[in-house]
Structure 1
Amino acid sequence: MKELINNDYQLTDEIGRGRFGIVYRCYSTITGDSFACKSIDKRLLSDPTDRECLQKEPKILHILGGNPNIVQIHRLYEDENHLHMIIDLCESPDLFDRIAARGGVFSEPEAALIFSPLISSIGYCHRLGIAHRDIKPDNILFDCRGNLKLADFGSAEWFGMNERGVMTGVVGTPYYVAPEVLSGREYNEKVDVWSAGVILYVMLAGVPPFYGETPADTFEAVLRGNLRFPPKIFRSVSPEAKDLLKKMLCKDVYRRFSAEQVLRHPWVVSGGETRSMADLT
């Protein structure tokens, strides 16, 4: 298998490592273009759920192919023990590192430059019947040109195959997971909108909206869903931004905005440039 890959792509240095595999920098032996190779050791996947995710991710990436703000899969190689995905190379700091580097506080136009392509990519997924289900800063990458790339679809689900468009299963990450996921109920694709709302809140405030001392405390805070805007932290955040956050971080799923509605919100349309609340009515 390695010889087959090296005929098409030359692997060089390691650039990342996870529970089940390693990410290498590589380049095409034909064009010289640079890519990343995500190599997964299937022998480490003892949990059937992990194996299912492994098989699902490349299929979902193929469905989502062509969107400039979603990591693209270019080739897939698989044998009995390994799976290798050739994907876009994203070496710039991810959103988690960018938030950490500056204390999490972005101006509204700066936040909008990141948020707009993120929610656009989420809307694209939803139109194709796919929910990401693990939207978090670590999974928001940037290529060498600064283009945002939504990545890691290992927890994604194709809800479009379900007649009712609902999903089950507790997946996601503390701070970012939606309350209906934690409650054990059926849920829909709006869980991604909630997670994106948490990210926007963190970029503007420097702290998450729901948190605790332990993961269990954080989950309890998420389940309560008591959204607050501490005056000291939000004194310079516009009413428009807070209005959008209220509509995304709404515990009532029926009232929570869809990704398409978020894209039409005045704060997103204006690129984070504040306007009067009268324009929202």
Structure 2
Amino acid sequence: MLGKLFGVGRGAALKDYEVGKHLGSGNFAEVKEATRKSDGQTFAIKIIDKSKVGDMADALQTEIDILRSISHPNIIKLIAVHDEKKKMNLVMELATGGELFDRIVERGSYTEADAATLIGDLSNALFYLHAKGIVHRDLKPENLIYASKAPDSPIKLADFGLAKLVGGAIVMQTACGTPGYVAPEILANKGYGIEVDMWSVGVILYILLCGFPPFYEEEMPALFKQIMSGRYDFPSPWWDNISADAKDLVKKLLVVDPKKRFTAEQVLKHKWIQGHAPKTQLNLTVDAMKKFNARRKLKRAAMGILAKNRVQRMVELAQEADRAVTAAKKR
């Protein structure tokens, strides 16, 4: 079924690779590092368990189709797809430089110019994607990874699990994304387009400049109300020394009306991106980001444990149901 769905033939799967350490996992997939035996080159392999895919088959098909159609220096590249009887293996470019915020916290030295380079790289990737009618829909720090540990390493956009191909009069209505980074039009549930990615860029830019998010409430209804109203500010002392050009770009991106929001092309033409970002150290930003990053990672770990427990409970309930059916048949 899935072999036909994904449109790839059966063939040599992982025998050409030396599979190594675990890199991450999700609901139906695990990511491992792997070395190609023929040349020693390393990759990341996303190993998808077909038995767990279920209703996500169409979304996986879309993800694979999109990844096959794109090639950009700031986007993680799909190298190959290997289909097996029980698993689908996606061989991906391996990025080893770490997540965006982790890297900033580790490096110590950080300026507005560094932030401008990051937003420029991300906007370059989005300009490319949006021109092809592709919207990512889940831009967040976890999906921005450095290619390597090198000081001048480019940033790479990853995880196209929620990406969608749009065009013409097609309007998306599925509510998706990550709270805190999601655009107001998604929450309004009235349809949306590629502009949602640029709102997320605005949120990421805001955090890059001060170290904490523009919208932050513990309760989801309050958070979503704040986002839908576009209510944020530039609190002192964190924003006191941030340039007017940087603030201007934030204001051009965090616009509730998607038609008035900056596009990726407009971001790339903004003077702050074009070399006018100051090179003064953002020490307050780094200190604030350390705290925000620690809370973010703790919350992600807690959510992972809860998800694992839910899956375990579902398995236990299924087993109990099977035992009940077996017992009933014996009566």
TM-score norm. by structure 2 comes to 0.76
How much has 1:129 moved relative to structure 2? 0.7
How much has 1:32 moved relative to structure 2? 1.5
Amino acid at match of 2:155: L
How much has 1:271 moved relative to structure 2? 5.6
Q: Counterpart in 2 of 1:173? A: 178
Q: Distance in 1 between matches of 2:177 and 2:228?
A: 14
Tell me, what secondary structure is at the counterpart of 2:13? helix
Q: Counterpart in 2 of 1:31? A: 39
Higher helix share: 2
Q: Distance in 1 between matches of 2:102 and 2:117?
A: 16
Amino acid at match of 2:23: I
Q: Distance in 2 between matches of 1:99 and 1:252?
A: 31
Amino acid at match of 2:133: G
Q: Counterpart in 1 of 2:136? A: 132
TM-score norm. by structure 1 comes to 0.89
Q: Distance in 2 between matches of 1:200 and 1:97?
A: 15
Q: Aligned pair 1:233/2:238, yes or no? A: yes
Tell me, what secondary structure is at the counterpart of 2:213? coil
Q: Distance in 2 between matches of 1:219 and 1:76?
A: 38
Q: State the superposition RMSD in angstroms.
A: 2.2
* C-alpha contact (below 8 Å) 1:227/1:246 kept by paired residues: no
Which range is displaced more, 239-248 or 35-44?
35-44
Tell me, what secondary structure is at the counterpart of 1:237? coil
Tell me, what secondary structure is at the counterpart of 1:6? coil
How much has 1:3 moved relative to structure 2? 8.8
Tell me, what secondary structure is at the counterpart of 1:5? coil
Amino acid at match of 2:241: S
Q: Among 270, 285, 299, which residue is 1:265 paired with?
A: 270
Amino acid at match of 1:62: R
How much has 1:106 moved relative to structure 2? 4.5
Q: Counterpart in 1 of 2:74? A: 69
Q: Distance in 1 between matches of 2:79 and 2:268?
A: 29
Amino acid at match of 1:55: Q
Q: Counterpart in 2 of 1:277? A: none
Q: Distance in 2 between matches of 1:28 and 1:199?
A: 35
Q: Distance in 2 between matches of 1:11 and 1:94?
A: 22
Which of 1 and 2 has greater Rg? 2
Q: Aligned pair 1:45/2:53, yes or no? A: yes
Q: Among 201, 207, 211, which residue is 1:202 paired with?
A: 207
Which range is displaced more, 133-142 or 16-25?
16-25
Q: Structure 1, residues 9-48: CA drift from partner, whole Å, max 9, x if none? A: 22122122222221111111222111110111122233x2
What is the number of equivalent residue pairs in this alignment? 268
Q: Distance in 2 between matches of 1:187 and 1:55?
A: 22
Q: Distance in 2 between matches of 1:212 and 1:185?
A: 24
User: Unaligned stretches of 5+ in structure 1?
Assistant: 275-281
User: Unaligned stretches of 5+ in structure 2?
Assistant: 1-8, 280-331
Q: Distance in 2 between matches of 1:74 and 1:191?
A: 28
